[in-house]
C-alpha cells in the first residue's frame, strides 16, 4: 500500500497544534471530573463505571441498529449503533458492574461480592 504524503504548510501546523491543544484540554477536564465526581447520581442512573462515565465518553460506533446479548443473563438488547454495552442494565445493577464495559462500578479489583457467572 502506498499513501500519498501530506504537504506541510502553515495551515497544517495551525490545525494540528490547535487540535492537539484542545484534546489535551479535554483530557484534563475529564480527569478533573473523574477525581471530583460531580455527577454521581447521573452515573449511577446510567449504570456506568467511573471510567466510562467521566473519561471514556468519546465512543465511536457505526450507524446501524445492533442487537447483542447480555454477557451474564444472555438477554437480547438492541442499541442504535454498533457501540454496544457488555451487560444489560438489570445485570449491571444486580452485580454492581458497569453495563457498558463490565468493570466494577467503583473500579475495585478486590470485591466482597461473589463474581457473577454467565447463565446462558
pLDDT in tens, the chain (120 residues): 888 888 889 999 999 999 999 999 999 999 999 899 889 999 999 999 999 999 987 777 888 899 999 999 999 999 999 999 999 999 999 999 999 999 999 888 876 667 788 887
Is 6 a member of any domain? Answer: no
Domain containing residue 85: 39-95
Is 23 a member of any domain? Answer: no
Q: And the C-alpha cell for 9?
A: 504548510
Would you state the pLDDT for residue 119?
A: 81
The percent of the chain in helix, strand and coil, each rounded to the nearest 5, is: 40, 10, 50
Is 114 a member of any domain? Answer: no
Is 17 a member of any domain? Answer: no
Q: What is the pTM of this model?
A: 0.77
Is 107 a member of any domain? Answer: no
Is 11 a member of any domain? Answer: no
Amino acid at each position: 500500500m502506498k499513501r500519498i504524503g501530506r504537504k506541510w504548510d502553515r495551515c497544517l501546523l495551525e490545525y494540528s497544534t490547535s487540535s492537539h491543544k484542545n484534546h489535551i484540554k479535554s483530557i484534563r477536564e475529564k480527569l478533573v471530573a473523574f477525581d471530583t465526581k460531580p455527577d454521581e447520581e447521573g452515573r449511577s442512573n446510567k449504570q456506568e463505571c467511573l471510567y466510562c462515565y467521566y473519561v471514556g465518553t468519546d465512543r465511536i460506533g457505526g450507524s446501524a441498529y445492533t442487537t447483542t446479548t447480555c454477557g451474564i443473563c444472555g438477554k437480547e438488547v438492541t442499541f442504535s449503533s454498533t457501540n454496544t454495552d457488555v451487560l444489560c442494565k438489570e445485570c449491571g445493577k444486580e452485580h454492581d458492574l458497569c453495563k457498558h464495559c463490565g468493570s466494577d462500578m467503583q473500579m475495585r479489583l478486590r470485591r466482597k461480592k461473589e463474581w457473577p457467572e454467565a447463565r446462558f
